[in-house]
Amino acid sequence: MKRILSGIQPTGSINIGTYLGSVKNFVKLQDQMPDYEFFIFIADLHAITVHKDKQFLRTKIKELAALYVACGLDPEKVNLFIQSEVPAHSQMAYLLQCNSYIGELERMTQYKDKSRKQETGVTVGLFTYPTLMAGDILLYDPEYVPVGKDQKQHLELARDIATRVNNKYNDIFTVPKPLIAEVGAKINSLSDPTSKMSKSDDNEKSRINLLDPENIIKKRIKSAITDSLGNVKYDPENRPGISNLMTIYHVITNIPFESIESKYEGLGYKEFKEDLGEIIYQELKPIQERYAELINSKELDDILDKGRDRANQVAYKKIMKLNDRIGLGRKRRK
Task: Give the x/- contact pattern for ligand TYM in 185-214, rule: CB under 6 A.
Answer: xxx--------xx-----------------
Is 285 known to be catalytic? no
Closest CA to 185 of 6, 39, 4, 45: 6
Q: Which of 42, 147, 157, 246 binds ligand TYM (CB under 6 A)?
A: 147
Measuring CA to CA, how many Å separate 275 from each of 30, 104, 226, 248, 263? 30, 45, 16, 12, 11
b/e map 226-248, b = 16+ CB within 10 Å: bbeeeebbbebeebbbbbbbbbb
Nearest to 293 by CA among 60, 54, 70: 70
User: In the complex with ligand TYM, which residue's Cβ is closer, 46 or 159?
Assistant: 46
Q: Is 22 in the site for ligand TYM (CB under 6 A)?
A: yes
The packing angle between helices 152-169 and 124-138, to 10°, is: 70
82 binding ligand TYM? (CB under 6 A): no
Write down the least CB distance from residue 251 to ligand TYM, Å.
9
Pick the closer one to ligand TYM by CB: 61 or 264. 61
For residue 137, state whether it binds ligand TYM (rule: CB under 6 A): yes
Q: Which is nearer to ligand TYM, 193 or 277 (CB)?
A: 193
Nearest to 44 by CA among 308, 228, 319: 308
12 with 199: CB under 8 angstroms?
Answer: yes
Q: Which stretch binds ligand TYM (CB under 6 A): 3-11, 26-34, 162-170, 307-315?
A: 3-11
Catalytic residue numbers read 114, 196, 199
Interface with ligand TYM (CB under 6 A):
6-9, 17-18, 21-22, 43, 46, 133, 136-137, 145, 147-148, 150-151, 185-187, 196-197
